[in-house]
Amino acid sequence: MLATCGDGYATLHGFSLNFTIECIGVDLAESEWNVTDECVAVACPPLSIPGQSGFEINGYTGGSEIGTHCGYGYECNNCYQNLLFVYCEATGPGTADWRLEGSCDGLACPALSINNSDSVNMTGRYPDIHLVTCEDGYTDGASNQFNVSCSVQNEAEADWTFDSEQSTSSSEKGEDSISWGSSEYIPTCTAVACPTLTVTNSDTLALNGSTGSTHSVTCADGYGAEGSGSFTATCAGVPSSPGNATSQWTALTCEGIYHSFLNLDPTLVLFLCLSLRCTQLL
């Protein structure tokens, strides 16, 4: 006769699901069952509880319920009296797994917004790490990317923190009074400076500015830019590789307007140039 172990159980010897049972004679007109094995509860896989480093829960199918607290940095949600209860239950022939009543979730960090970046109303839970990327033309002073971590501030609260080793040191930033690696300091994305701009034949000879800056350039007498005597120069961010941030001026050039007179009557050219105070005559 073949016996089969139920869900969550397996044979004691050889870890099988089946074994034989025989009715054998032991004496004159007397028999008894010869059982070659027995069914025993199988073990659930070791269960780690978030925040409890090095601690594991072990158990077998049908074992007693186990109540435990969540570890440091975690809160117990949908739990009974702040205890997470776990049960080792059968999941199939020869298998078992844990069923949890409640969950251990990392403490939530408040929403974080960093201007001029891709991080707006960013949310997370301990121990989340988020990569912040500044918009083109902006930097935290050392790079256009940096990491912020949702870290535990005390047993019941979490906040976003910055690890200076992921970007630069406090001495490099000149922030000796700041407590690095704490919520007291989160980098900001600040505008990058454009190289000095000089527009020949205009009132702009040494213009400085940073991302987002604008300046009205007026061409000198007898010069223009695309049919106008003035234009607006803008310092704009340039798409950059991770770790770099650059900006450049977007500006026109002031060209001599006499070039448009090439096909006109010389007398008319002279008249126009005298009216516009041309510096050259063709």
Q: Output the pLDDT for position 40.
A: 92
Q: How far apart are CA 190 and CA 247, in angstroms?
A: 12
Beta bridge partners of 158: 152
Could you tell me which residues come within 8 angstroms of residue 49 by beta carbon, excluding any fewer than 6 positions away?
55, 57, 68, 70, 71, 84, 104
Q: How far apart are CA 152 and CA 70, in angstroms?
A: 14
Nearest 10 degrees: Cα torsion 93, 96, 99, 104: -150
Q: Output the pLDDT for position 172.
A: 39
Could you tell me which residues come within 8 angstroms of residue 165 by beta carbon, excluding any fewer than 6 positions away?
none
Give the number of other CB atoms < 10 A from CB of residue 251.
Answer: 21
Instruction: Give the domains, in start order, of the chain with CATH numbers.
Output: 1-105 (no CATH), 108-190 (no CATH), 193-258 (2.10.70.10)
Q: How far apart are CA 273 and CA 257, in angstroms?
A: 10
Q: Judge residue 71's burial from the number of C-beta atoms within 10 Å of its C-beta, 0-12 exposed, 13-18 middle, 19 or more buried.
A: middle
Q: Is the pTM of this model over 0.75?
A: no
Q: Output the pLDDT for position 281.
A: 44
Structure tokens at 154: 């005390």
> In terms of pLDDT, which residue wins out, 154 or 149?
149
Asked whether residue 114 carries a pLDDT value surpassing 90, the answer given is yes
Q: Output the pLDDT for position 240.
A: 83
Q: What is the pLDDT of residues 52-76, one digit of tens each?
A: 766 889 999 987 678 888 888 999 9
Residue 44's pLDDT band (cuts 50, 70, 90): very high
Maximum average pLDDT range among 13-22, 31-40, 107-116: 107-116
